[in-house]
Structure 1
Amino acid sequence: MTTEPGIRRAAGKFVRLLAAGGAIACHATLAAAQDAPERDEFFWLAEMNKATTIINSQEGLLDPEMTPGIATALAQVIEDGSQPGADRPATVISFEPLLIEAGSIDVTLLHAGRSSQDMHATYRAAILRDKLLELATQLNTTATTLVDLAERHADTIVPNYTNGVAAQPNSYGHYLLGHAAGFARDAQRIRETYARIDRSAMGTTVLNGTTWPLNRERMADYLGFAGIVDNAYDASQISSMEHPVEVGSIITSIALHSGNFVEDVMTQYAQTRPWILLEEGGENTYVSSAMPQKRNPGLLNNTRSDASTAVTLAMGPILQTHNITPGMPDPKDVAQNSDMVDAGIRTLDRLDRVLKALVINPERALEELNSDWTASQELADLLMREHGLPFREGHHFASEIVTHARQNNLGPLDFPYDEAQRIYAETVRDTDHPQDLPMTEEVFRATLDPVSIIANRATTGGPQPAEMQRMIAAARDGLAQQDAWISERRDHIETSLQKLDQDFEALLNDSPDEAG
């Protein structure tokens, strides 16, 4: 059951190409790697069969005399599947007939102690593991853009909003770091979920193992997993159902974070003079077909739509897993779960373009702040901090100033100081506190200055310059650690698959024809 040595050598070259199909360190192999097939179900079924051939022949579960022929038949199936437009079966029962055709019924000796249950659970985990690394990479790219923008706008003072209403002044960089913190938690969720998915189910058979003493740990090592799913029932009946649900929760979080940011920017487009817009042209904006003055924010609309699609797809695994018995295939579809992750990646990619297209007008933002009373709380804070006035009394004083100002169309820059004195006296009239406003006009004006408010914040995690520097450095450190984590995981998988390829190639070369 052998083929010509030339076929074996060609198959060996092909499996080397497979090992190079991920992150390529050497430029010389890049062109070849571009022709390598994707790591789909067919790829992982081939890898599992390669690992099985090696391990079982070395540990006495497969007749060493039959091993080279079985390996050659497997290499032929892999090579055939690499041809343009070739069929790449995605199930054990459709892959095995190709092996039999390439060799003989003897190749089914590979299936000792195996099942579609553990093999499919393994390739689902491997594919989802790869998708999580793709997601983590895009998340880090978008988060880096966010932190870069935050550093550039650390000193840009803008309004922030709560309940849809202008609330307080803030550094735009500080606001952006808040969004970056949300994405940092998404990155943490990816790492935690990855650790739970990065476990091999191979060797658990259907749900309770097999009488064959399969070496599950070696199999996991060859396939680049960090370890095995310990409980054989859990392997294909429980954990494989919860994996897409858990990934769906990450996609949901990323989509919600992205959508929240987009909607905050969108509120500016309702104003006649926004302080933040998209740079015009390209995908960013487009002109209305009827109203020539409009510049519709197409990029924002598309990003929000991508986020909505991601949330919709992320709900699928939950609904499919709800109220079914363990092990059912409903939530396990590889294509559907990959589409779900891809939707999250598209959302982040589009958000990255939004961040790079933002045009912030600091002067207009400051004008917006000075046209409203977003700094009024600082009056109450100062009276309590420096003069012992209870906060609620100070709050009432500031609130009455705002009421009077809005009734008389006054802003913080032109509010009469004598009116402030009068309102204060009325506020504390029935109290034991001094009846005169205990701040000079100069202090009164400075207290309402948005720029001074930000500079004088003392809270850890606030927008004051020292804290901004600290938080930007911490954010960059987190991004660097995440990047290193992604690289380490990819390198581990690639190194494992390269080792598998080398050992399998040794079997291909160890045949009677070669020996003669």
Structure 2
Amino acid sequence: MMKLWGGRFTKPTHQLVEEFTASISFDQRLAEQDIRGSLAHVKMLGACGIIPQEDAEKIAAGLLQLKERFEKGELAFSVSDEDVHMNLEKHLIEQIGPVGGKLHTGRSRNDQVALDMHLYLKEETSELILLLNRLVQVLVERAESNLDVIIPGYTHLQRAQPILLAQHFLAYAGMFRRDVERLEDALKRIDMMPLGAGALAGTTFPIDRELVAAELGFSRLYENSLDAVSDRDFILEFLSAASIVMMHLSRFCEELVLWSSTEFGFVELDDAYCTGSSIMPQKKNPDVAELVRGKTGRVYGHLFSMLTVLKGLPLAYNKDLQEDKEPMFDAVDTLKTSLILFAGMIETMQVRRENTERAVRQDFSVATDLADYLVRKQLPFRQAHEVIGKLVLFCIEQGKFLADLTLDEYKSFSELFEADLYVAIDVKNVVEARNSRGGTGTESVKHQLALMHEWLKGQ
């Protein structure tokens, strides 16, 4: 079968080479974007008088028919036609005749594929931003509905200080807010139109790139044709931002796996987001959390794959760049599904208050406040730290907690202790004492919630 580009060749492509170099198995996903780009391009060709207006209208009508056939699943794609661009062009010519061959005037597959990916990633990034906003909203709602729940705060995965669960939720809301801002910033580079760059050097035809950009909703153009066809920074930037989002999801998933275990018991994940065991009837496994955690490495891999593909490429287009699509597609799919499932998992999980209350009263996480108590009585902090350290050791040896000790036992370590120490180490008082900006006290957390609500309204 003669290739659309086959005029220079005297023998057919080796079958294995044909299969090896073809991208239609995955880039057919860009068919809608390719048709949209072609519609804008042919409109410009007609408007600029590069092809007769009658031909432009006939081609546009044919492209709309192709779009309808594609949406109905009626278009057959062939490996012999290599990619989505050649497949669609061949279908167009078969549908409307030789005039369909005029569509490719003034453009190359190099700027065509770059356009398709910009269009695709612009749409998907905008949708991912909406999903992240939804996740932030869910976390804000869960923070508000659990504003009175206190949990142990951890450093080194060791009990540190008690905090509000709402504070914990809002910490992640802050991370995902920054993820939104990163994707919004990445959109500035995604929202650039490469079409009109030709293969690498531009075109001799009097094209109007601004008309095409306006038709497709791009805010600016690539001003250098070499840059336009060889740039994949916009994909790298997206993959980097996607990797950070997945990292944030993975960190939270790690905590949910721990929190839903019998040893912690802080939350109960909804059955819809868990699975069972084929052999152990009692099991309820947090598979969604675990798999999101696992898929994080997959998205990281796509970032490193793209960096590796690009690191040694000379300008301008090289066939290596065919390897840019599958990582992009899979990263988008993985991140989108992870965000949808994760938001649902957070929205439906139950907080087991009886366990969180027990947890914060059976540890030594108020020790810092006990040291601060002595500091307020003018004992230097380093000496106070030593006194409390010895108190904790004493408790461990006696099998007690700080709240269990008598006043006489306290006084055996320092005469500065008085009965009011028990007020100072009450867990609720410990939390409420931390109302510095950003702290875990209720008033501080309410302020954080107000700021997050204000941000969400602006999204």
The TM tier, using the shorter chain, reads 0.7 to 0.9
Aligned to 1:358: 349
- CA distance in 2 between partners of 1:285 and 1:49 (Å): 46
Report SS of the residue matched to 1:413.
Answer: helix
- Select 1:56's aligned residue among 35, 39, 45: 45
- Contact 1:40–1:127 under 8 Å retained in 2: no
Alpha-carbon distance change, 167 to 302 in structure 1, aligned in 2, over 3 angstroms: same
Alpha-carbon distance change, 273 to 457 in structure 1, aligned in 2, over 3 angstroms: closer
Aligned to 1:448: 425
- Contact 2:306–2:327 under 8 Å retained in 1: no
Alpha-carbon distance change, 175 to 65 in structure 1, aligned in 2, over 3 angstroms: closer
Q: CA deviation at 1:243?
A: 2.1
Report SS of the residue matched to 2:217.
Answer: coil
1:246 aligns with 2:237: yes
Aligned to 1:395: 385
Q: CA deviation at 1:202?
A: 0.8
What is the one-letter code of the residue matched to 1:320? V
Aligned to 1:406: 396
1:318-350 per-position Cα deviation (integer Å, ceiling 9, x unaligned):
333333334435455434411211101121122
Please give the TM-score of this superposition, normalised by the length of structure 1. 0.76
Aligned to 1:165: 158
Aligned to 1:276: 267
- Select 2:192's aligned residue among 192, 199, 210: 199
1:145 aligns with 2:138: yes
- CA distance in 1 between partners of 2:406 and 2:348 (Å): 41
Aligned to 1:431: none
Aligned to 1:231: 224
- CA distance in 2 between partners of 1:97 and 1:354 (Å): 46
- Contact 1:461–1:467 under 8 Å retained in 2: yes
- CA distance in 1 between partners of 2:51 and 2:72 (Å): 30
1:496-515 matched pairs, under 5 angstroms = none
Please give the TM-score of this superposition, normalised by the length of structure 2. 0.85
- CA distance in 2 between partners of 1:93 and 1:228 (Å): 25
Report SS of the residue matched to 1:230.
Answer: coil
- Select 1:347's aligned residue among 332, 338, 345: 338
1:328 aligns with 2:306: no
Aligned to 1:433: none
1:380 aligns with 2:371: yes
Higher RCO, 1 vs 2 (CA within 8 Å, ≥6 residues apart): 1
- CA distance in 1 between partners of 2:34 and 2:46 (Å): 18
- Select 1:465's aligned residue among 439, 442, 445: 442
1:10-67 per-position Cα deviation (integer Å, ceiling 9, x unaligned):
xxxxxxxxxxxxxxxxxxxxxxxxxxxx994222232222222222222232233544
Report SS of the residue matched to 1:296.
Answer: coil
- CA distance in 2 between partners of 1:274 and 1:58 (Å): 67
Q: CA deviation at 1:216?
A: 0.9
Report SS of the residue matched to 1:168.
Answer: strand
Aligned CA RMSD, in angstroms, stands at: 2.5
- CA distance in 2 between partners of 1:39 and 1:375 (Å): 60
Q: CA deviation at 1:253?
A: 1.1
- CA distance in 1 between partners of 2:248 and 2:198 (Å): 40
- Contact 2:162–2:427 under 8 Å retained in 1: yes
Report SS of the residue matched to 2:171.
Answer: helix
Task: Give the total of aligned pairs.
Answer: 427
1:411-453 per-position Cα deviation (integer Å, ceiling 9, x unaligned):
12211222222223xxxxxxxxxxx31x4222x1112111101
Aligned to 2:174: 181
- Select 2:247's aligned residue among 232, 256, 261: 256
- CA distance in 2 between partners of 1:299 and 1:185 (Å): 24
Q: CA deviation at 1:387?
A: 3.1
- Select 2:34's aligned residue among 19, 22, 45: 45
- CA distance in 2 between partners of 1:362 and 1:194 (Å): 42
Structure 2, unmatched stretches of 5+, are 1-26
Report SS of the residue matched to 2:153.
Answer: strand
Alpha-carbon distance change, 212 to 265 in structure 1, aligned in 2, over 3 angstroms: same
